[in-house]
């Protein structure tokens, strides 16, 4: 395939983090405006369906792709997808975002196909180096990405009229898979990044907590679709909140607070704990289930992915691992967006339109700051000139 001599397509994190940032600035503000003004978006998915699908299978998928395509090179020591294949994969993702806005001009099957093919293609790009290296520790990503493809297919089957009730199930399966991925990878990288940044600090890890933090999330994923408001879901969500909360306590040190690239990851993981706590309360009938999702999406996904994109982009372009003042403000704003959308409606449900608008504005500002700081970083070569070196090892 033709070579592309362009820094933007040198490694997976570059195009996908840039696309994720651009899409984040558009996605939530567009949805918030449509919600507050009651002007539905004319998309292939419908208004609510577009918002939920694109947050999971659009934004989060782009960040996941950028992270995994970069990390797999560190795990295997094999040069990963770059140049023309990476540009083609990026274009496929972009087609899946644009086509749904033209339901009158583009056949539904074509919009569905463009969006669906992204996960199988990403799976192939990851599977090749993993299988060649014989590296077994991360082979679980292959079936995990297959499950993402299945969840996405479930959404499209209902949108095209082939099934009923599949879209909601597929959307929540996709969300649960992202949360599981965050719990697995967060347990690896957050303590690692903390140790690297703070000499003398050794985050505590207990083997039983590590096991329970993942097993409880899987148990919750299996229980919620079939028994959404049951004691089983309350127990599994409660165990997930408690075990991941213990994880977070073990990682804690007051020394990370002056380091924005660390506290944003810790607070982001904290939102996962809050999300499971709210899920447990909802299953027990103590709060409405409609208020439980956004602690995961705006908080867990939004905060953690913004922090990960910021840190990975610096490390893999040969720059010092120090957040700019603008980015530190962005980290604070995205956490405020999570409070406004993920927690405040529990106490002020009548203010929901205003809270949605405020949260959308805070989200947009945080990602606008990311784009201001990181667009030049993502499109230019490494500052140390080592364009083929993967500087950091993400264990």
DSSP string, 106-119: S-HHHHHHHHHTHH
pLDDT per residue as tens, the chain (395 positions): 455 558 899 999 999 999 999 999 998 888 888 888 877 777 888 878 899 999 999 999 999 999 999 999 888 888 777 789 999 999 999 999 999 989 889 999 999 999 999 999 999 999 999 999 887 889 999 999 999 999 999 999 999 999 998 999 999 999 999 999 999 999 999 999 999 999 999 999 999 999 999 999 999 999 988 888 899 999 999 999 999 999 999 999 999 999 999 999 999 999 999 999 999 999 999 998 888 999 999 999 999 999 999 999 999 999 999 999 999 999 999 999 999 999 999 999 999 999 999 999 999 999 999 999 999 999 999 887 665 444 444 33
For the beta carbon of residue 192, count every other beta carbon within 10 angstroms: 15
Task: Output the pLDDT for position 262.
Answer: 98
Task: Output the pLDDT for position 112.
Answer: 96
Task: Output the pLDDT for position 4.
Answer: 57
The class level of CATH for 7-379 reads mainly alpha
Rounded Cα gap, residues 49 and 387, in angstroms: 41
Give pTM, 2 decimals.
Answer: 0.94
Rounded Cα gap, residues 391 and 388, in angstroms: 9
CB 303 within 8 A of CB 270: no
| Nearest-5° Cα angle at 90, 262 to 267 | 15
């Amino acid at each position: 395939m033709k070579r592309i001599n362009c820094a933007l397509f040198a490694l997976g994190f570059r195009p996908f983090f840039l696309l994720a940032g651009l899409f984040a600035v558009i996605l939530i503000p567009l949805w918030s405006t449509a919600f507050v003004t009651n002007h539905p978006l004319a998309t292939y998915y419908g208004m609510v369906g577009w918002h939920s699908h694109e947050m999971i299978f659009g934004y989060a998928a782009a960040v996941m792709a950028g992270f995994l395509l970069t990390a797999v090179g560190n795990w295997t020591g094999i040069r990963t997808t770059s140049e023309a294949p990476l540009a083609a994969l990026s274009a496929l993702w972009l087609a899946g975002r644009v086509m749904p806005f033209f339901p009158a001009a583009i056949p539904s099957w074509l919009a569905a196909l463009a969006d669906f093919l992204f996960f199988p293609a990403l799976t192939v790009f990851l599977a090749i180096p993993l299988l060649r290296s014989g590296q077994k520790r991360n082979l679980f990503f292959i079936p995990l990405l297959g499950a993402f493809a299945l969840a996405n297919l479930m959404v499209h089957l209902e949108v095209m009229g082939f099934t009923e009730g599949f879209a909601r199930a597929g959307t929540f399966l996709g969300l649960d898979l992202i949360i599981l991925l965050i719990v697995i990878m967060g347990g690896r990288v957050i303590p690692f990044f903390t140790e690297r940044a703070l000499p003398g600090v050794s985050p505590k890890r207990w083997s039983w907590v590590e096991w329970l933090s993942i097993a409880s999330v899987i148990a919750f994923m299996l229980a919620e679709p079939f028994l959404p408001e049951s004691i089983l879901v309350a127990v599994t969500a409660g165990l997930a909140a408690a075990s991941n909360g213990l994880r977070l306590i073990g990682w804690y040190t007051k020394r990370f607070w002056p380091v924005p690239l660390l506290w944003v990851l810790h607070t982001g993981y904290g939102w996962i704990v809050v999300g499971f706590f709210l899920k447990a309360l909802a299953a027990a009938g103590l709060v409405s289930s409609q208020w439980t999702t956004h602690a995961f999406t705006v908080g867990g996904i939004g905060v953690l992915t913004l922090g990960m994109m910021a840190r990975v982009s610096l490390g893999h372009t040969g720059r010092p691992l120090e957040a700019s003042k603008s980015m530190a403000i962005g980290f604070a704003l995205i956490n405020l967006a999570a409070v406004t959308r993920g927690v405040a409606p529990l106490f002020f449900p009548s203010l929901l339109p205003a809270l949605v608008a405020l949260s959308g504005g805070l989200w947009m500002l945080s990602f606008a700051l990311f784009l201001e700081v990181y667009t030049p970083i993502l499109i230019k070569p490494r500052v140390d000139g080592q364009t083929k070196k993967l500087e950091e090892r993400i264990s």
